Amino acid sequence: MSGPVTNTVEPVPDEGIIQGASKLTPEKIERVINKVLESEAGARLKTYVDTCVHCGLCSEACHFYLSHDHDPKFSPAGKVKQTIQEILKKKGRVDADFIKRAAEIAATECNICRRCSMYCPFGIDIGYLMLTVRRICHFLGVTPRYIQDTAHSHSATMNQMWVRDDEWIDTLMWQEDDARREIPDLRIPLEKEGADIFYSVIGPEPKFQAQLIYQAAVIMHTAGLNWTMSATPGWDNSDMCMYTGDFEMTARLKKTHFEAASRLKVKKIVMGECGHAFRSVYDVGNRALGWKMPPIPVIHAIEFYYELIKGGKLKIARKYSKPVTFHDPCNMVRGRGLHEIGRYVTKATCEKFIEMEPNREHNYCCGAGGGVVNCGPPYKMKRIESSKVKAEQLLAVKAKGAKTIIAPCHNCHSGLEDLIRHYKLDMDVKFLGDIVYETIEKKK
């Protein structure tokens, strides 16, 4: 394995954290923390922190801990000890340096992948505890600059990437135009009231991965589906605010998304291959709005392809020939249990499938999720080093013959591509949609 791993925790210089912390006073910190604790943190926080017996059994669940040679500072309970436990113990009387470190731990040393909940005998939701720390840091104005910029984009434009309304429509028309060279009567329907499917994507797709929308359109066209996209804000299903601790914005974003779908009177929402966005729509945002389950049925692309292939609406012309492995994204697997149907689609479209170990609910995180990759360049090397165990896992499956990693999640893609480059793994990463698009019999 190339790339040395350091065990020292040097603070990463981040303008957002440094400048935010410079404006703090001890009084403000105490007031803000106690306001959050009084108004929001309730039975779960207290029970979780009081119940933990400090046994350390969660440690090996965490890829940060495993990648940093079992440094206890990176164990899930270790991160709790350095952040929320201390905050509770001191009743909010902590200083600005403490908040800086807590912000860095919560925002960049935990992917909120929830693997540790499966290793803690008590099922303590440490991801929730880290999100509570992020929530406090959000109110204190101490957040990493890059992800905060994304959160600003969300609040100003209702999409993640500062995409202007006209640019969004323009991008769809451009993709439609391009796709018509392949399929002359293909459409990317916009604002089609009464369509069966509302297809939503994350901001980065129109911004720099527009071919994914092209591919989705070809799949929809081939399956003969009645679908639409929204021309107004609400087309973007992503949500970095959920990860900065700005839950009010999460509610606004999801309201806009659900309202766009309900305005178009669709039967269901199909989401592109993004994990965090699915978590936000299916699990977090609906709750923020007071819905136990999403008000409109929501399915992730994995489930969508599964239904189309199983139902015979898509026929496989020629299977993908390179041996593949399947990376289970946390939000699709621990978040929605799509591991078996993901394998169904993979086996239906690929000639040879090789399992990586561990897999399914126990798969290691890509290292990019939970908003960590969105914290940007300052943390890139730390993120890559903190996923050494993921790189080792990939190397092991490569040794068994796998050449392509199927990762049905945008964040996982970014994370895995960085790992492949840094650790010189020489593998490809593909979306399930890439494979489906490539292998189906297309309707001309």
Footprint (CB under 8 A) of other proteins, residues 39-68: 39-44, 46-48, 50-57, 59-61, 65
Q: Are 132 and 43 in contact (CB under 8 A)?
A: no
Q: Shortest gap between Cβ of 42 and other proteins (angstroms)?
A: 3
Q: Shortest gap between Cβ of 440 and other proteins (angstroms)?
A: 27
Site stretch for other proteins (CB under 8 A), options 251-259, 329-337, 396-404, 420-428:
329-337
Beta bridge pairs of residue 324: 353, 404
Closest to other proteins by CB, 93 vs 287, is: 287
Please, which contacts does 19-25 make with residues 24 or more away whose CB atoms are closer than 8 Å? 20/103, 20/140, 20/141, 20/142, 20/143, 21/96, 21/97, 21/99, 21/100, 21/103, 21/142, 22/96, 23/141, 24/96, 24/99, 24/140, 24/142
Q: Are 241 and 151 in contact (CB under 8 A)?
A: yes
Closest to other proteins by CB, 32 vs 179, is: 32
Footprint (CB under 8 A) of other proteins, residues 121-150: 121-125
Query: What does residue 29 show for φ and ψ, rounded to 5 degrees?
Result: -60, -50
Closest to other proteins by CB, 52 vs 412, is: 52
361 near other proteins (CB under 8 A) = yes
Give the Å distances, CA to CA, from 352 to 138, 322, 326, 348, 416: 46, 7, 11, 10, 21
Q: Shortest gap between Cβ of 332 and other proteins (angstroms)?
A: 10
Q: Shortest gap between Cβ of 422 and other proteins (angstroms)?
A: 26
Q: Shortest gap between Cβ of 136 and other proteins (angstroms)?
A: 15
Copy the structure tokens of residue 386. 């903190």
Closest to other proteins by CB, 49 vs 419, is: 49
Closest to other proteins by CB, 50 vs 193, is: 50
| Number of shown-chain residues binding other proteins (CB under 8 A) | 48
Give the Å distances, CA to CA, from 416 to 159, 234, 327, 401: 24, 29, 10, 18
From the list 259, 436, 276, 244, the residue with the least C-alpha distance to 349 is: 436
- Of 78, 203, 369, 378, which one interacts with other proteins (CB under 8 A)? 78
Closest to other proteins by CB, 65 vs 168, is: 65
335 near other proteins (CB under 8 A) = yes
Q: Shortest gap between Cβ of 439 and other proteins (angstroms)?
A: 27
Distance CA 44, CA 33 (A): 17
Site stretch for other proteins (CB under 8 A), options 38-46, 96-104, 237-245, 403-411:
38-46
Footprint (CB under 8 A) of other proteins, residues 290-309: 292-293
In 236-315, the DSSP E strands lie at 268-271, 298-300
Q: Shortest gap between Cβ of 80 and other proteins (angstroms)?
A: 9
Site stretch for other proteins (CB under 8 A), options 75-83, 234-242, 305-313, 375-383:
75-83
Distance CA 109, CA 74 (A): 7
Sign for the CA dihedral angle at 132, 138, 141, 145 comes to positive
Helix (H) or strand (E) holding 406: strand 404-406
Q: Are 436 and 216 in contact (CB under 8 A)?
A: no
Closest to other proteins by CB, 100 vs 115, is: 115
8 near other proteins (CB under 8 A) = no
Closest to other proteins by CB, 336 vs 390, is: 336
Rounded to 10 degrees, what is the CA torsion of 72, 396, 339, 435? 130
Q: Shortest gap between Cβ of 141 and other proteins (angstroms)?
A: 24
Closest to other proteins by CB, 127 vs 272, is: 127
Closest to other proteins by CB, 76 vs 272, is: 76
Q: Shortest gap between Cβ of 127 and other proteins (angstroms)?
A: 11
Q: Shortest gap between Cβ of 16 and other proteins (angstroms)?
A: 28
Distance CA 132, CA 136 (A): 6
3-state DSSP assignment of residue 352: coil
- Of 263, 287, 352, 442, which one interacts with other proteins (CB under 8 A)? 287
- Of 3, 26, 72, 297, which one interacts with other proteins (CB under 8 A)? 72
From the list 216, 336, 341, the residue with the least C-alpha distance to 281 is: 336
Footprint (CB under 8 A) of other proteins, residues 368-427: none
Closest to other proteins by CB, 53 vs 173, is: 53
Distance CA 371, CA 367 (A): 10
Farthest-apart Cα atoms in the chain, separation? 67
Residue 261 has a CB neighbour count (10 Å cut-off) of 29
Question: How many residues does the structure list for the chain?
Answer: 444
Residue numbers at the binding site for other proteins (CB under 8 A): 39-44, 46-48, 50-57, 59-61, 65, 70, 72-73, 75, 77-78, 81, 117-119, 121-125, 283, 287, 292-293, 333-337, 339, 361-362
